[in-house]
A and B are shown apart, each in its own frame.
Chain A
Amino acid sequence: QIQLVQSGPELKKPGESVKISCKASGYTFTDYAMNWVKQAPGNGLKWMGWINTQTGKPTYADDFKQRFVFSLETSASTAYLQINNLNIEDTATYFCTRFPVWGQGASVTVSS
C-alpha cells in the first residue's frame, strides 16, 4: 500500500541544522508532488511548500523562504526537508504529504 515513512525525532541546539527524510513506497514517486506541513506543539497545520518530484523544483510558502530547503533523492524515492540555523520556533512536528497520504511526522525539538 502507499506509505510515507519519515525519519525519527531530532533534538538540536539553536543555530544547528537538521535534515528530515520522507521515504515513499507503493507508488511511482515521480507521479506526485510532495508537500511539507509544519505543526508546532498544540497548534494547527501550516503548509510549508511543495517540491515537484519530476523536476526537483521547490516552491516555498512565504514564511518558509529562508532557511528551509526541499530536496529529493529520486532513485531512493525519498524527499528531504532541511532546516538551517534552527531557532526555538522551529520546534514542531513536520509532515510530508502526497495528498491525501501523510507521513507519520518527524519531531524536531530545538533547545539550548
Chain B
Amino acid sequence: DIVLTQAPLSVSVTPGESASISCRSSKSLLSSKGITSLYWYLQRPGKSPQLLIYQMSNLASGVPDRFSSSGSETDFTLKISKVETEDVGVYYCGHRLEYPTFGAGTKLELK
C-alpha cells in the first residue's frame, strides 16, 4: 500500500498570510505514463471534497491561482498564498496509482 503522510496536521494562519502543507509518499507517484499521480483536495466543513490540484501541479478549473503545488516523485508541497476565509477546511493529498489512498488531512484555521 502507498502511504501518504501529511504535515502539519493543523495550521493556523492569519488572513493574507501564506500557508504550506507537506505530503510525503512511501513510494514514487510517477506513473509509467510519466504522470505524477498526486492530487490535492479541500473539504470545507460539511461539504464533499473539492479538487484543487491534479497531477501534482495543475490547477483545477475554477480554483484561484493563490493555490500552487510542486514536488518530486515522493515529496510534495501545497502552497496557499494570501489565505482567505473561504480557504478554511481540511486539505487532503491523494493519489490514484494502484488504488487510491489519501493523507490524514491538514486542518487549516484562521487566527
**A residues adjacent to B (C-beta < 8 A):** 35, 44-47, 49, 59, 61, 95, 97, 99-100, 102-105
- Which of B18-26, B46-54, B68-76, B79-87 is found at the contact surface with chain A? B46-54
Once A99-B96, A100-B54 are accepted as A-B contacts, the answer to whether A45 and B49 lie under 8 Å apart by CB is: yes
> Using a CB–CB distance below 8 Å, which chain B residues touch chain A?
39, 43, 47-51, 54, 60, 90, 92, 94, 96, 99-105
Q: Is the CB of A44 within 8 A of B48?
A: no
The answer to whether A45 touches B92, judged by C-beta atoms less than 8 angstroms apart, is: yes
Establish whether residues A44 and B60, one from each chain, have CB atoms under 8 Å apart when the complex forms: no
Query: Chain A CB within 10 Å — which of B47, B49, B54, B90 has the most?
Result: B49
Q: Which residues of chain B have C-beta atoms less than 8 A from A99's C-beta?
A: 51, 96
Give B27 Cβ to nearest chain A Cβ, in Å.
16
Q: Which residues of A contact B47 (CB under 8 A)?
A: 104
Q: Which of B43, B96, B100, B102: most chain A CB closer than 10 A?
A: B100
